[in-house]
Amino acid sequence: MDPKQKYATIHYQKYLELDQLLQAQRPRSAEVGETPAHEEMLFIIVHQSYELWFKQIIHELESVIDMFNKDVVDEKNIGTAIARLNRVIIIFKLLVDHIPIMESMTPLDFLDFRNYLFPASGFQSYQFRKVENLLGLPENERMTYAGHHYAAFFSDEQKAELDEISNHLNLFKAVESWLERIPFLNLGDFHFLDSYKVAVERMLNKEAEAIRNSDYLTDKDKEMRLRMMGSTDTYFQSILDSDVHAKLVAEGKQKLSYEATLAALMINLYNEEPLLQPPYRFLLCLVDIDELLTTWRYRHAQMVLRMLGRKVGTGGSTGHEYLNETAQRHHIFKDFHNISTLLIPRSELPQLPDAIREELGYVFSVKKD
């Protein structure tokens, strides 16, 4: 390129390709020669907006995955990754806020043009499937769609890309590998799990004593609460015993590896240590994204129920029933949510040795004359 052309001026209209963008709304109710349905323009623009935001989400996720999908993760990138995932979080909030705009259209308004949409469906959005795969939704947890594989409507090239992302280049796998390798798990003579087990037992004994001494609970209520409270032989075994954890993974009840789960627990328990604050904020981003994606799925399902009741979707799905079930089942980072099950109060937290606390803090030395 001629250096003189590098910084040549450009018009707003041309830079944003507005001529092409603003000609991309072509309501079918008008194209087929029938009376144009006024609300179809809204329907098209909202869904086109979704696709534009999906493109931005993909742009951010691919950059973060590239940072973490390395043998050595540059610590300077953690802050950048947090900023970009926070942007994804804000976009998902915006996607949820698109739904009330759609709901400004009444069910009768939608029926004015719905018959022109068959067999198009949001299920055919390649970018949304790519977002799911980039986050790490495994194929074996996906619900089938009207008896079809989730990628049945895509080209061979698109299917191959989705497979590559699902098997190798997704955020869940990249984060899991990073957690398994982070150096602070090497705690020298400090045996975290032994200290943690003692702390858990102490916490549970205090809770059990409080239940037994309660003046407000009946004997039946006390028995029920003691049973529900569990012990180190119940859900805490998933972290205290690697074999128990391996069995849960084999059964599909957990996905995150034992080493990565242990690292995530350490980050959450000691998140106030200076060097653990960025990893902690990063893991919070994953939980927020999972929660917002679930919120969007649920709101989408409720919108469909409002618009269509129990009608079958335009693409042949069960409509609301299918969408509602994906909201319940398609959780990607649930293992990071479940870390909360293993947390204990700060007052019970095993004390880190001074040498380890120094490694996790900011240590400055003052040169003496």
What percent of the chain stands above pLDDT 70? 91
Question: Which has the minimum average pLDDT: 304-313, 326-335, 359-368?
Answer: 359-368
| Per-residue pLDDT at 280 | 96
**Mean pLDDT calculated for residue range 339-366:** 84
At 41, is the pLDDT very low, low, confident or very high (cuts 50, 70, 90)? Answer: very high
At 95, is the pLDDT very low, low, confident or very high (cuts 50, 70, 90)? Answer: very high
Residue ranges of alpha helices (H) inside the chain are: 3-6, 12-15, 18-21, 28-31, 40-68, 76-102, 107-111, 126-135, 156-167, 171-181, 192-212, 219-229, 237-240, 242-250, 258-269, 277-308, 320-329, 334-337, 339-342, 354-359
pLDDT of 222 over the 60 cut: yes
**Mean pLDDT calculated for residue range 200-225:** 89
At 239, is the pLDDT very low, low, confident or very high (cuts 50, 70, 90)? Answer: very high
The per-residue pLDDT for range 103-149, each reduced to its tens digit, is 999 999 999 999 898 888 888 899 999 999 999 998 888 877 667 78
List CB contacts of 26: < 8 A, sequence separation 6 or more.
44
Which has more pLDDT, 269 or 142? 269
| Per-residue pLDDT at 151 | 87
Which has more pLDDT, 54 or 306? 54
State the Cα–Cα distance between residues 296 and 95, nearest whole angstrom. Answer: 7
pLDDT of 230 over the 80 cut: no
SS3 at position 288: helix
The per-residue pLDDT for range 313-348, each reduced to its tens digit, is 554 455 788 888 888 888 999 999 999 999 999 999
SS3 at position 120: coil
Under 8 Å between Cβ of 245 and 251: no
At 368, is the pLDDT very low, low, confident or very high (cuts 50, 70, 90)? Answer: low
**Dmax over Cα atoms in the chain, in whole Å?**
90
Mean pLDDT (the chain) is 89
Which has more pLDDT, 156 or 222? 156
CA angle (358 as vertex; 354, 361 as ends), nearest 5: 135
| Per-residue pLDDT at 228 | 79
For the record, the structure tokens of 248 come out as 């849960």
Bridge partners, 145 (sequence order): 148
**Mean pLDDT calculated for residue range 295-317:** 79
Threshold 0.85, pTM exceeds: yes
Question: Which has the minimum average pLDDT: 23-27, 298-302, 316-320?
Answer: 316-320
Count of C-beta atoms within a 10 Å radius of residue 134: 23
Which amino acid appears at position 138 of this protein? P
Which amino acid appears at position 205 of this protein? N
Question: Which has the minimum average pLDDT: 259-268, 336-345, 351-360?
Answer: 351-360
